Amino acid sequence: MSQLYSVPEHIKAKAKIDNDGYKKLYQQSIDDPEGFWSEHGQRITWFTPYTKVKNTSFEPGKVSVKWYKDGTLNACYNCVDRHLADKADKTAIIWEGDDPSVDKHITYRELHKEVSRFANGLKKLGIGKGDRVAIYMPMVPEAAYAMLACARIGAVHSVIFGGFSPNAIADRINDCQAKAIITADEGRRGGSTIGLKANVDKAIADDACPTLEHSIVCRVTEGDVDWTEGRDVWWHELVGNVSDECQAEVMNAEDPLFILYTSGSTGKPKGVVHTTGGYMVYASMTHEYVFDYQEDEVYWCAADVGWITGHSYIVYGPLANGATTLMFEGVPTYPGVGRIGEIVDKHKVNILYTAPTAIRALMAKGDEAAKTSTRESLRILGSVGEPINPEAWEWYHRAIGNGKCPIMDTWWQTENGGILITPLPGATDLKPGSATRPFFGIQPALVDSEGNIQEGEAEGGLVIKDSWPGQMRTLWGDHERFEQTYFSTFKGMYFSGDGARRDADGYYWITGRMDDVLNVSGHRLGTAEIESALVAHKSVAEAAVVGYPHDLKGQGIYVYVTPVEGVEVTDELTKEVRNWVRSELSPIATPDLIHWTTGLPKTRSGKIMRRILRKIAANEYENLGDTSTLADPSVVDSLIENRMNK
């Protein structure tokens, strides 16, 4: 039995919701979703009020998700303009540079000016409502300005994580037919620079992205860049002589706000589409309640804007709530392992939301990470991205939170728009490793392989039985794949792809992905994507990729490859293949272990038996299951014999 951490008195005293409050509101949200979301939709400022609230169906063949469908609003207006009346001089964004001596405070008034100017700049280039704009930026305030400026003029942004390589950039631009990309000369991270514009140049060279007309470049490091006249334009020149005023476009609640690509179990990344009204309601409401955000607190989500966590909990949620949100350019371990705590002390951070992978990296250094700071300002901690193991949870609680800050272990996905399963600071007693209970309006269930709902204490596939406002609406340009991916495994329910267990108290424990998706340091990667990068190498004939338990990364990438006939396998080649994946896809997809083999375990119909490969990678040789259907069972023995060491 793990220890139970009850709600600390000092948290309870201030909290917006206690346990009775949670139970009452939750019940109301399930008994009367229409009434509940009609009331809470009011937290957003609407240009035209909605009369419709929930129009959703999970019915096979007719999956459709619409919320507030006759309301109109603008997401940027909600994040910026509506705070000018009473919070113009409040800090909206605290930006902390990679270099610890550099930071910047941006007020809501300044944010309004910067965003409006850039929005006018975009308009000058002929970008408008409905156009898609890719954003490939480092963690600088301009990344947030760019997102908000798109939202202001009704353009649909698609942020591409700054760690992706040229091929991945090109795929994403082409899938959504982006008209422009916003990038920077270079980004800074952990004391080094990354040539972002150079990556974009490579991605779009030779007319590889035919829809792309403009590349807008923000000057960040002043590093040298190549320049293509007519296509490339400097951000600062674009906004050189534009007005500070830009009317926010009137958008329908169901107009797309952004597309964000994420990995699935098949090769091609999926363009997850989020729309405006429901997303804003859900992002802002979860931000307020999950972190018990109180006026004048400093809130820091240490994610990257390239991921959904950055969208919902650095930009849209906190800014919609008029909060002060901290944006950090660097990494938790630079210049030293104490950086997170130092930033907390420097800016008096009250709420810190980060990922287990960062926590484990600091924990690996003993208590070094806590030595250079007091972190006395901290009140609430958060965790997201992967299961947090109880040891890391306890360490985070003790060493970072000084034993007094409750940890919100938040489970959710790109597809969900916002947090689905989570404690609330003033309401939930905590169990290390459990994401605990559903947020308002969320009906999780556990199903067996036939889709039968399991009651009470149980384990199974984690599904959500009904819609919530922040849910994705479709996959860009492929509604059929959307239905197929999320609603066909268990008919009439949204299937998350994760497995979970529910204990006797009704608490949920996420057990991890049930499909071919890896979670490496909190980054989602499809094994198929890595495999297609591998087989694109001239010496690789066939590849199979699986995850294995990794102390720091959560999951490591274990690669089985067969060489092309006649190719000699050398250390040099292994290195080359590893670097190839880095540059073809992304450094985050770098294989940890590369296992050359002359054969892969296949069924007689030619399917690779990944179940076996996963077991071998995890060093679990007993219980390999039935290998009798293999075309050549001897392959397994040879794989075991040559298993790569950790």
CB of 307 to ligand 6R9, least distance (A): 6
Tokens of 563: 């060489």
Instruction: CB nearer to ligand 6R9: give 467 or 519.
Output: 519
Cα–Cα dist 544/527, whole Å: 8
497 in a labelled binding site: no
What 3-state class would DSSP assign to 635?
helix
Q: Between residues 309 and 321, which has the closer beta carbon with respect to ligand 6R9?
A: 309
Q: Which is nearer to ligand 6R9, 55 or 389 (CB)?
A: 389
Tell whether 183 is in a known binding site.
Answer: no
Q: Is 189 annotated as a binding residue?
A: yes
592 annotated binding-site participant? no
Does 492 count as an annotated binding residue?
Answer: no
Q: Do residues 522 and 554 touch, judged by C-beta distance below 8 A?
A: yes
325 known member of a binding site: no
411 is in an annotated binding site: yes
Cβ proximity to ligand 6R9, 518 vs 613, nearer residue: 518
CA distance 172 to 157: 12
Q: What is the Cα–Cα distance from 46 to 77, expressed in whole angstroms?
A: 10
Question: What is the 8-class DSSP label of residue 3?
Answer: P
Residue 414 counted as an annotated binding residue: yes
Smallest separation, CB 288 to ligand 6R9 (Å): 18
625 in a known ligand binding site: no
Q: 3-state DSSP call for residue 252?
A: strand
* 384/442 with CB nearer ligand 6R9: 384
- Token pair of 239, please? 């906004």
Q: Which class for 481: exposed (0-12), middle (13-18), buried (19 or more C-beta within 10 A)? A: middle
**202 sits in which H/E element:** helix 196-204
Cα torsion angle, 378, 384, 386, 387, sign: positive
- Exposed/middle/buried for 631, CB within 10 Å: 0-12, 13-18, 19+? middle
Per DSSP, the three-state class of 571 is: helix
Q: Which is nearer to ligand 6R9, 388 or 543 (CB)?
A: 388
Nearer to ligand 6R9, 157 or 524 (CB): 524
- Closest separation in Å from C-beta 421 to ligand 6R9: 8
Residues that bind ligand 6R9 in the complex, under the rule CB under 6 A: 262, 307-309, 384-387, 409-414, 435, 496-498, 510, 513, 519, 524
Q: Which is nearer to ligand 6R9, 132 or 311 (CB)?
A: 311
Do the annotations mark residue 582 as ligand-binding? yes
Is residue 373 part of an annotated ligand binding site?
no
Dist. CA 210–CA 204, nearest whole Å = 8
Instruction: State in angstroms the smallest separation of the CB of 386 from ligand 6R9.
Output: 5
Q: How many Cα atoms occupy the beta-carbon half-sphere of 141 within 13 Å?
A: 23
CA-to-CA separations, 150 to 19, 118, 194, 514, 552, in angstroms, rounded: 40, 9, 25, 36, 37
Residue type, 389: N
Nearest approach in angstroms of CB 638 to ligand 6R9 is 32
Is 524 assigned a ligand-binding role in the annotation? yes
CB of 117 to ligand 6R9, least distance (A): 32
Residue with tokens 């631009």: 173
> Are the C-beta atoms of residues 161 and 143 closer than 8 Å to each other?
no
Q: Which is nearer to ligand 6R9, 320 or 384 (CB)?
A: 384
Identify whether the C-beta of residue 544 lies closer than 8 Å to the C-beta of residue 557.
no
Written as six digits, the tokens of 341 are: 């705590």
What are the angstrom distances between the C-alpha of 614 and each of 327, 462, 484, 494? 38, 22, 25, 26
Q: Is 132 helix (H, G, I), strand (E, B) or coil?
A: strand
Which two tokens mark 217? 């470049």
Measured from the CB atom, is 38 or 413 closer to ligand 6R9? 413
Q: Is 498 annotated as a binding residue?
A: yes
Residue 398, annotated as binding a ligand: no
Q: How far is the CB of 338 from ligand 6R9 (least distance, A)?
A: 25
Query: Could you tell me which residues come within 8 angstroms of residue 128 by beta carbon, excluding any fewer than 6 positions away?
Result: 153, 154, 155
Beta strands in 365-507 (DSSP E): 380-384, 407-410, 444-447, 453-454, 458-464, 474-475, 494-502
DSSP type of residue 631: S
Q: How far is the CB of 500 from ligand 6R9 (least distance, A)?
A: 9
Q: How far is the CB of 174 from ligand 6R9 (least distance, A)?
A: 22
Task: Tell the smallest beta-carbon distance from residue 263 to ligand 6R9 (Å).
Answer: 8
Q: Which is nearer to ligand 6R9, 373 or 489 (CB)?
A: 489
Task: For the CB of residue 428, give the shortest distance to ligand 6R9 in the complex, in Å.
Answer: 14
Binding residues: 189-192, 309, 385-387, 409-414, 498, 513, 521, 524, 535, 537, 540, 582
Binding residues for Mg(2+): 535, 537, 540
Binding residues for ATP: 385-387, 409-414, 498, 513, 524
Binding residues for CoA: 189-192, 309, 521, 582
